[in-house]
Amino acid sequence: MTNILRVSTAADGTQGNNLSGYHSPISADGRYVAFSSTATNLVAGDDAVADVFVKDLQTGAITRVSTSADGRSGNQGSYYSSISADGQHVAFESAASNLVPGDVANTYDVFVKDVHTGAITRTATGVPAIGASVHSSISADGGSVVFASPGNLVAGDTNDFWDVYIQDLGTGELRLVNVDAAGAQGNGYGDYPSISASGRYVAFDSFASDLVAGDTNGRVDILVKDLQTGAVARVSTSAHGAQANDHSTQASISADGRYVAFASDASNLVADDTNGLTDIFVKDLQTGAIIRATTGADGTQANADSTHASISADGRYVAFASNASNLVSGDTNGVTDIFVKDLQSGAIIRLSTADNGAQGNHPSVDPFLSADGHFVAFNSSSSNLVAGDTNARSDIFRAKVDFDALSQGDGANNHLVGGADDDTLIGYAGADTLEGNGGQDVLLGGEDRDVLLGGSGADTLDGGTGNDRLHGGNGADHLVGGRGHDTLIGGLGRDTLEGGIGHDLFVVNADNSPFGGGDTIADFASGEDRIDLRAVNVHLFVGAAAFTGGDGVIEARIDLSSQQLQADLNDDGIFDAGDLQIHGIHAIAAADLLLA
């Protein structure tokens, strides 16, 4: 099963010919992802102006959103999108003046596109265009959109600060959000809003000191406005109500408005926060409890900054970007990665990796978690997350969040066992035993002497460092020994075996793929590696000479034209059904074989 795929491609899979990024919001079930791109080849008739697209990851279809109702391209760039739960409505900001009639503002506006009908709406119409409208967030039901603007868009807005507004897309009603419980405007800016599913609650950055009582810290805080009651709550406080001693930004609110995730430089929101770095926190507005999400499964503090929180609908999962190297074992790439934390169990996984476990070779940023917590969309300039990524541009990816399919060792000698589904087992340090069982599994041994057993699916096994033993099992497996003197056993199926660095042993069993199939040894080195043929009772290697049949001696030979090692297991003097073949053998000597 594919756990990560590239989103920013054309419907036929053609990769984008320019950058893709600028936010990648994802629908509730992970099917639709919106993003901005300057690529000209994702849809027909596109130009070099930045556009917003929506990709259907079930069908592969891609739609350009930043067009007028009759399909005309925007004449200026479009960015910073958000998407409704069902993927039908997309809000975005654009400087284009030709998306709707009468747009003479010559600045950024927020638009909402109905992907199904093509209809497009500009927010805040009918008021003087004093400044840009940006940083939109659309409600899950598609009924409301919030955004920030320095313009005085409603009566009584006279503070000349950036403010947060909400517009009812059904009635057109426009309201100011960053006001106190009595409706008085703040004495500082509000920005970067995040809206709850129904549109009742809005979380936002605020530098005002007069929206809640006792705000004397002189820092940017996270506030939540209840648009039904008018109440305002400050999120960026400790469980005991202590004010944050540094700035807090980038809020993400749960569907019901109870939980808010945010980034903060404060060191006093939770106990033992001594890393002096930007961390991600989650506040429960019902109980007042606050949790730091940027810790390892054992509670270890992150050793580098973390940003861009995105919370699931129920508040259980939080995605974020971090340059920390100690949140999960084996993080050695030295770049920003994407993580998801399970706040209930404390488990944490890294998602900016390839299906075979390879770490991203360039930074990954701006994660967006689907409402159900099952998928994360993000931006990455890595070229090794999916096959065929050769455009040397940042792309949008979607990764599956599967804590159940991930089992990790703790540095000791672990025994990890997968189930019937597609599992990822990571041993890390210690002499580990990893068993994949059913499904298409990824087994990563890590350090020390590991034993990797693939099981019945088409598995990927990587021993890592140490003298490892790898057995593919029954599927068409890919075995990589890594650094060390490894033993590789393909088993049934057409397997690919790579010994890696070291003197490796490739073992042929009676159940290895026979004539008509055959395994491939990708890096056999004569004089260094060996092939064990004792289990299939091969007695003699005859070089490139023909087989001699009927003499009771089972022979092996090299066929130089096909680069195969062949064994005449039925002793009939010819290479035919019932015999053994191994591909990829360019040169071999008798000393390279273990014979019966």
Q: pLDDT tens-digit profile of 233-272?
A: 999 999 999 999 999 999 999 999 999 999 999 999 999 9
Q: Which of 545, 530, 536, 523 is nearest to 567 (CA)?
A: 536
SS3 137: strand
Residue type, 380: S
Q: Which of 69, 74, 71, 87 is nearest to 33 (CA)?
A: 87
Instruction: Say how far apart CA 463 and CA 433 lie, in whole Å.
Output: 11
Contact 159, 178 (CB under 8 A): no
pLDDT at 531 over 60: yes
Instruction: Say how far apart CA 89 and CA 465 lie, in whole Å.
Output: 49
Q: Which of 94-103, 193-202, 403-412 has the lowest mean pLDDT?
A: 403-412
pLDDT at 428 over 70: no
pLDDT at 440 over 90: no
Q: Which of 316, 424, 405, 329 is nearest to 369 (CA)?
A: 316
Contact 542, 555 (CB under 8 A): yes
Which residues make beta-bridge pairs with 540?
555
Long-range interactions of 423-431: CB distance < 8 A, separation 24+: 424/3, 424/357, 426/329, 426/330, 426/357, 427/464, 428/329, 428/330, 429/329, 431/466
Contact 178, 157 (CB under 8 A): no
CB-based contacts of 60: which residues, under 8 Å, 6+ apart?
11, 12, 13
CB-based contacts of 387: which residues, under 8 Å, 6+ apart?
none
Q: Tell me what pLDDT residue 270 has.
A: 98
Contact 94, 74 (CB under 8 A): yes
Q: Tell me what pLDDT residue 384 has.
A: 97
Query: Is 73 or 435 the better-scoring residue by pLDDT?
Result: 73
- Count, in order, helices (H) and strands (E) of the chain: 0, 47
Q: Tell me what pLDDT residue 405 has.
A: 56
pLDDT in tens, 300-354: 999 999 999 999 999 999 999 999 999 988 899 999 999 999 998 888 999 999 9
SS3 536: helix
Quick one: pLDDT band at residue 515, thresholds 50, 70, 90? low
In this structure, how many other beta carbons lie within 10 angstroms of the beta carbon of residue 562?
Answer: 12
pLDDT at 512 over 60: yes
Quick one: pLDDT band at residue 120, thresholds 50, 70, 90? very high
Query: Is 321 or 130 the better-scoring residue by pLDDT?
Result: 321
pLDDT at 358 over 70: yes
Instruction: Say how far apart CA 488 and CA 495 lie, in whole Å.
Output: 11
pLDDT at 116 over 90: yes
Query: Is 434 or 50 the better-scoring residue by pLDDT?
Result: 50
pLDDT in tens, 546-587: 999 899 999 999 999 999 999 999 899 998 877 888 999 999
Compute the mean pLDDT over every residue in the chain, rounded to the nearest whole number. Answer: 91
**Burial (CB count within 10 angstroms: exposed 0-12, middle 13-18, buried 19+), residue 570:** middle
Q: Which of 301-305, 444-448, 456-460 has the lowest mean pLDDT?
A: 444-448
Tokens of 315: 């508040």
Instruction: Say how far apart CA 545 and CA 232 lie, in whole Å.
Output: 87
Q: Tell me what pLDDT residue 514 has.
A: 60
In this structure, how many other beta carbons lie within 10 angstroms of the beta carbon of residue 427?
Answer: 34
Q: Which of 51, 44, 35 is nearest to 14 (CA)?
A: 44
Which DSSP letter does residue 49 get?
A: S
Q: Tell me what pLDDT residue 403 has.
A: 73
pLDDT in tens, 377-397: 999 999 999 999 999 999 999
CB-based contacts of 171: which residues, under 8 Å, 6+ apart?
none
The CATH H-level superfamily of 4-400 is TolB, C-terminal domain (2.120.10.30)
Contact 2, 356 (CB under 8 A): no
Strand order in the sheet with 348-350: 306-311, 317-322, 337-342, 348-350
Location of structure tokens 């299939």: 536
Which residues make beta-bridge pairs with 559?
564
Q: Which helix (H) or strand (E) holds 406?
A: strand 406-408
Location of structure tokens 């419907």: 11
Q: Tell me what pLDDT residue 427 has.
A: 72
Which DSSP letter does residue 295 get?
A: B
pLDDT in tens, 77-97: 999 999 999 999 999 999 999
Which residues make beta-bridge pairs with 340?
319, 349
Phi and psi angles of residue 580, each rounded to the nearest 5 degrees, phi first: -110, 140
Contact 236, 222 (CB under 8 A): yes
**Burial (CB count within 10 angstroms: exposed 0-12, middle 13-18, buried 19+), residue 590:** exposed
Can you give the pTM of this predicted structure? Answer: 0.74
pLDDT in tens, 149-196: 998 899 888 998 999 999 999 999 999 999 999 999 999 999 999 999
Contact 301, 295 (CB under 8 A): yes
Q: Which of 342, 410, 411, 355 is nearest to 386 (CA)?
A: 355
Does the CA dihedral 387-389-394-396 come out positive or negative? negative
Average pLDDT score over residue span 486-508: 87
Quick one: pLDDT band at residue 406, thresholds 50, 70, 90? low
DSSP string, 243-279: BPSS-EEEEEE-TTSSEEEEEE--SSSSTT--S-S-E
